[in-house]
Amino acid sequence: MKKIIILLLSLSSCTSVPRSLQKELQIYTIEKGIGDKVKATDQVEIFETVTLKSGKPVYEHQPPKAALRINLGKNQLIKGLEYGLIGRKEGEKFSMIIPVHLSQRKGYPDGTPRDSTLYYTVKVHKIIK
């Protein structure tokens, strides 16, 4: 519970996350990061695993693959993940529960219902300034 309160306080000070979404994002820190925080216009490299509530894998991008390079603010991610990355630090690993309306996308992996809440585990590999 303490982690959620801390997260909500940190999100409330970030003007890039709409107030209406701040209470809906469930983010849990697994490993703390170091250095500067991710800003809404940064380029970041991440590793991620996505599952359904049942634990069924949806998508995974982990080493030894190269990290995914993402430009925040360019609609390259679902809204929930983009909002969740803001304020994280390099090396930080976190899990996140993203409700349906924040996980809408053009394409879905085979067997993934469009009305699914998604469970992410993300590691911020690098922040590129």
Instruction: Kindly report the pTM of this predicted structure.
Output: 0.80
Domains and CATH numbers, the chain: 2-128 (3.10.50.40)
Q: Each residue of 62-90: b (16+ CB within 10 Å) or e?
A: eeeeebeebebeeeebbbbbbbbbbbbeb
Q: 98 — phi, psi (to 5°)?
A: -115, 115
pLDDT by 10s per residue, the chain, length 129: 444 433 433 443 344 555 556 677 889 999 999 999 999 999 999 999 999 999 989 889 999 999 999 999 998 888 899 999 999 999 999 999 998 888 876 666 666 777 888 999 999 999 997
